């Protein structure tokens, strides 16, 4: 399904899931290119369609002194260079309607953060760029409620929509994943992605730094593939402990290939 949404994506085995993966935030050109090169090598080997992800700016931070970015234009140019260098689509998130047209000049997919998935003007602005719009499901919404987010984009003349689940708020400092939501959202006629890393966040910690449970990434990914997710979203970094953002729940880059090998086998068995 994703091949029809982003024609530039490398054509791979149509029975496979696709992958959105990369660092949480764009930290610099060298590390972005190194991460992309490693993932492209792995996904080419495994015939997994690949979209490079990286936030050009982090607008939703717990503390005012948290890392937010290296500068909008600088980060967006890096995203463009990654796409051009490796011939893969790129995705980044936007936070206000005024960012949509500017960001669309650099990337192939505009992502709507979970906390903003009900923002009508933002969804319409993203839709009107003509780019694919990846809407993350709000932690506070049911899967069924995401139909209205999809409708806002489609009613604005853009049928290129992806939905991404990232868990549901469970108390104050934890998230859970209701895997019933994946087939429910697929019934809307759009590809559905499981965010295997953000769904393991532990927000609202006393330190003001979000925690996470990266040891369970494989568990979430396997379950998502088992229930029919079209794609997986995984934040990965060669040194998560020293990443500028979301290091607590990212997958170490060295572990990505082994995980994807297992998931490809699982997908084949199910299909």
Look at residues 12, 71, 21, 14 and name the one whose alpha carbon lies nearest to residue 46.
12
DSSP-derived pairing of the beta strands 50-53 and 90-93: parallel
Return the CATH class of domain 2-270.
alpha beta
- Report the C-alpha gap between 222 and 103 in whole angstroms: 33
User: Which pLDDT belongs to residue 12?
Assistant: 42
Rounded-to-10 torsion of CA 83, 87, 88, 91? 20
104 vs 129: CA distance, rounded Å = 7
Q: How far apart are CA 49 and CA 263, in angstroms?
A: 14
Ranges of the chain whose pLDDT falls below 50:
3, 8, 10-13, 205-206, 208
| Structure tokens given for 241 | 């402990």
Rounded Cα distance between 152 and 139, Å, is 19
pLDDT, tens digit, for every residue of 174-214? 889 999 999 999 999 999 999 999 998 766 544 545 556 77
Q: What is the domain partition of the chain in residue ranges?
A: 2-270
Helix axes 29-46 and 72-86, enclosed angle (nearest 10): 30
Q: Please give, one letter per residue, the 3-state secondary structure of 120-172.
A: HHHHHHHHHCCCEEEEECCCCCCCCCHHHHHHHHHCCCCCCEEEEECCEECCC
pLDDT at residue 212 in the model: 66
The three state secondary structure string of 62-97 is CCCCCCCCCCHHHHHHHHHHHHHHHCCCEEEECCCH
């Amino acid at each position: 399904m994703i091949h029809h949404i982003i024609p530039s994506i490398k054509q791979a085995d149509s029975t496979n899931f696709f992958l959105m993966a990369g660092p949480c935030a764009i930290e610099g050109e060298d590390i972005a290119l190194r991460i992309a090169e490693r993932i492209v090598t792995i996904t080419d080997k495994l015939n997994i369609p690949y979209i490079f992800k990286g936030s050009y700016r982090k607008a939703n931070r717990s503390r005012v002194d948290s890392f937010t970015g290296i500068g909008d234009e600088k980060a967006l140019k890096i995203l463009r260079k990654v796409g051009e260098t490796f011939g893969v689509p790129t995705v980044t998130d936007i936070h206000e309607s005024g960012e949509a047209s500017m960001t669309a000049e650099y990337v192939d997919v505009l992502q709507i953060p979970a906390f903003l998935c009900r923002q009508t003007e933002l969804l319409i602005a993203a839709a009107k760029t003509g780019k694919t719009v990846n809407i993350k499901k709000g932690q506070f919404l049911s899967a069924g409620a995401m139909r209205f987010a999809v409708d806002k984009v489609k009613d604005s003349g853009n049928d290129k929509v992806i939905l991404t689940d990232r868990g549901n708020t469970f108390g104050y400092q934890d998230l859970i994943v209701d895997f019933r939501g994946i087939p429910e959202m697929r019934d809307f006629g759009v590809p559905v992605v499981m965010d295997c890393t953000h769904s393991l966040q532990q927000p609202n910690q006393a330190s003001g730094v979000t925690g996470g449970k990266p040891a369970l990434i494989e568990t979430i990914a396997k379950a998502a593939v088992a229930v029919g997710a079209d794609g997986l979203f995984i934040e990965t970094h060669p040194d998560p402990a020293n990443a500028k953002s979301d290091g607590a729940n990212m997958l170490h880059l060295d572990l990505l290939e082994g995980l994807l090998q297992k998931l490809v086998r699982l997908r084949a068995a199910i299909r």
